[in-house]
Amino acid sequence: MQTLWEKYVKGDREAFGTLYSKYHKALTAYCLGRLKDRGLAENAASDTLMKLLDHPRPEEIDNFESWLFTVAKNECNTYWSTMERRKELLKKNYEAELETRPEVDDR
């Protein structure tokens, strides 16, 4: 009997839906441990699985689960660095100066 992975590699696109359902929860849990935010973790898990769908030659993936979790780790790193850059930009560009008071206080 063929595994889901073997079916997917041979072109069975319905197998992808089953793979998605089977691995999304585990990937979300993995990403949640890295990102500490459920919404971001779910997005990273979904992005990971979409990278599988977009992979031009899935038959070249030797160890499917290892590949999947490596991609998830990289997705989490991307999300994390994006969040950190966003925080830095917000702090740098929108932080109120401590010495200033709103105009209303002056009146």
Who has greater pLDDT, 44 or 96? 44
Whether the CB-CB separation of 76 and 44 falls below 8 Å is answered with yes
Longest dimension (CA), the chain: 80
**Residue 72 pLDDT level (bands cut at 50, 70, 90):** very high
Q: How far apart are CA 19 and CA 4, in angstroms?
A: 7
64-94 helix and 13-35 helix, angle to the nearest 10 degrees: 50
Q: Give pTM, 2 decimals.
A: 0.77
Distance CA 70, CA 44 (A): 12
